[in-house]
Amino acid sequence: MTKSNETGWNLDNSYARLPEKFFTSTNPTPVSSPELVILNERLAESLGLDVSTLESEDGVAVFAGNEIPEGALPLAQAYAGHQFGHFNMLGDGRAVLLGEQILPEGERVDIQLKGPGRTPYSRGGDGRAALGPMLREYIISEAMHGLGIPTTRSLAVVTTGETIIRETRLPGAIMTRVAASHLRVGTFQFAAKWGTVEELRTLADYTIKRHYPDVEADENRYLSLFQEVITRQAKLIAQWQLVGFIHGVMNTDNMTISGETIDYGPCAFMDAYDLETVFSSIDQQGRYAYGNQPLIGGWNLARFAESLLPLLHDDQEQAVKLAQDKISEFNEIYHSNWLAGMRAKLGLFNEETQDEALINGLLTMMKKHGADYTNTFRALTFDTMEDSVLFGAPEFVQWYELWQARLGREQESKASSTQLMKNSNPAVIPRNHRVEEALEAAEKKGDYSVMEKLLDALSNPYAHSEEQAEYSTLPASTKPYRTFCGT
């Protein structure tokens, strides 16, 4: 046992009280010589944890899985999922849930180790993670948080002192992930396929209590749960689209019930605007392309609905009807969130029917001229337009006049519109070449200063500060960027 009280760990594992089928108690496999390479101090403090104790040998031993803090009950969660459309039994193959940190207001957040060794769900894998992908998840999830997008967080990364074998030998690492929970659409798919209806109900009630307590007293609380998840996911995916985030592997096991972004494997941010953008090397059909994400969100939620059917109504025909009526609302909720976000990106406070045409006009020109998505919107927040192929095009000049006229019809001042735009268009996103540069310095030289500086710029992307300007530079190389699943 570590000095949990000094550190501030206040753990319980309510998941371990669910029916046994949903998890397997699993201890992390100890590692030889753990070293803390990055700690999210602000996040630690918000969790009631003491930074200097976390940095001590005892603190690091917890992040390494070498010590189990008091109150924790390490387990691997069982889940299933549709991977690229194909249903599989999965589960935490390289993750162990220590438990939930209970915050002063009673809220619970999961504390999970990613890369702690084999579990009963590891199949052929080693249960381990490499340093690069863990740092990459750290950077991108923290960037998402900075952008104001619901996401799992990264508390710490430790190197294990051990080598793992992939295509080459790589330094092993473990990331400590913080999440509202790790309940996934795939958790419900698992329960529906291998559990009894009562076990499924227990899982749904647990989920409601944890994430949606307001629906507990509803007449059909399971239908309300479905509605809530539809709303959260529709909003989440709209936020992804608005900043050009491409998740890359929207399998149903990588979709949370809480509405947080999870599992930063092959994700990346789009540079030039193109609905067909795909970064992941394994997504050869473009199933999870930028423009498909809303569609896939709806598809995944339909799988969630199928899992909930036995709870929605005793008569399965009625249950299907209820689910279908709800799922048909997804597109509408998504679209209204997207439209509201796009209006804000253009500095529009009120609504006019032609707004969508104005927005699409801009996007169409961006596609045609290969314009950078983030930088184009960023440039619109400036008083004078920069030189670019897009901004020099006669059709853009025409569009710009229409937009200015539209802004002129607003009650609010030009200054308020500009402020709204600055708050809605990030000055900095985790550009792929910047992320790579930070990872290279860390992996090859043990130099974390590049990463720290990048994280700093990403922590408040709407500041539009002078220091952030350098992060808007595009990569010198036009070679297509490729990402790989972080295994």
Question: Catalytic positions, please?
Answer: 253
Does residue 254 bind ligand AMP (CB under 6 A)? yes
Determine phi and psi for 293, rounding to 5 degrees.
Answer: -55, -45
Instruction: Report the partner that residue 44 touches, choosing among ligand AMP, Mg ion, none (CB closer than 5 to 8 A by kind).
Output: none
Regarding 85 and contact with ligand AMP (CB under 6 A), the answer is no
Is 13 an interacting residue with respect to ligand AMP (CB under 6 A)? Answer: no
249 binds ligand AMP (CB under 6 A): yes
Tell me how far apart the alpha carbons of residues 279 and 25 are, in angstroms, rounded to a whole number. Answer: 36
> What residues numbered 384-423 form the site for Mg ion, per CB under 5 A?
none
Q: List C-alpha distances in Å: 90 to 22, 83, 305, 370.
A: 12, 10, 19, 39
Under rule CB under 6 A, residue 54 binds ligand AMP: no
Number of neighbouring beta carbons within 10 Å of residue 466: 7
Q: What tokens were used for 407?
A: 């802004």
Please, are residues 343 and 333 in contact by the beta-carbon 8 Å criterion? no
Q: Which stretch binds ligand AMP (CB under 6 A): 38-46, 122-130, 273-281, 282-290?
A: 122-130
The closest alpha carbon to 75, from 58, 59, 91, 54, belongs to 91
Residue selected from 82, 108, 128, 211 as contacting ligand AMP according to rule CB under 6 A = 128
Residue 249 CB, nearest distance to ligand AMP (Å)?
6
Shortest Cβ 253–ligand AMP spacing (Å): 6
x/- mask, Mg ion, residues 137-176, rule CB under 5 A, reads ----------------------------------------
Identify what 66 binds: Mg ion, ligand AMP, none; CB under 5 to 8 Å per kind: none
- Judged by CB under 6 A, which stretch of 6-14, 88-96, 149-157, 300-308 contacts ligand AMP? 88-96
Which entry of Mg ion, ligand AMP, none binds 210, CB below 5 to 8 A by partner kind? none
312 lies in the binding site for ligand AMP (CB under 6 A): no
Map the footprint of Mg ion across residues 219-278, applying CB under 5 A.
Answer: 254, 263
Q: Is 263 in the site for ligand AMP (CB under 6 A)?
A: yes
Please name the residues in contact with 25: beta carbons below 8 A apart, sequence gap of 6 or more. 16, 73, 74, 75
> Within a 10 A sphere around the Cβ of 60, how many other Cβ atoms?
19
For residue 276, the minimal CB distance to ligand AMP (Å) is: 22
Between 53 and 152, name the residue whose CB sits nearer to Mg ion: 152
The partner in contact with residue 224, picked from ligand AMP, Mg ion, none with C-beta cut-offs of 5 to 8 angstroms by kind, is none
Residue 172 makes contact with ligand AMP by CB under 6 A: no
Q: Please say which residue, 121 or 334, places its beta carbon nearer to ligand AMP.
A: 121
Partner whose binding site includes residue 172, from Mg ion, ligand AMP, none (CB under 5 to 8 Å by kind): none
- Amino acid code (one letter) for 122: S
CB of 220 to ligand AMP, least distance (A): 32
Task: Among 34, 65, 127, 132, indicate the residue that binds ligand AMP (CB under 6 A).
Answer: 127
| Shortest Å, Cβ 139 to ligand AMP | 17
Q: Is 92 in the site for Mg ion (CB under 5 A)?
A: no
**Contact indicator for 349, 410 with CB cutoff of 8 Å:** yes
Which among Mg ion, ligand AMP, none contacts residue 93 (Cβ within 5 to 8 A by kind)?
ligand AMP
Tracing tokens 């998402």 back to the chain, one arrives at 144
Residue selected from 85, 125, 161, 392 as contacting ligand AMP according to rule CB under 6 A: 125
Based on the shown chain and the rule CB under 6 A, indicate whether residue 132 belongs to the binding site for ligand AMP.
no
Choose the contact partner of 137 out of ligand AMP, Mg ion, none; CB within 5 to 8 A by kind: none
Binding string to ligand AMP for residues 206 to 245, with x set by CB under 6 A, is what? ----------------------------------------
User: Between 90 and 102, whose beta carbon lies closer to ligand AMP?
Assistant: 90
Q: Which is nearer to Mg ion, 65 or 248 (CB)?
A: 248
What single-letter amino acid sits at 59? G
Write out the residues near Mg ion by the rule CB under 5 A: 254, 263
Write out the residues near ligand AMP by the rule CB under 6 A: 90-94, 121-122, 125-128, 249, 254, 263, 265, 485, 487
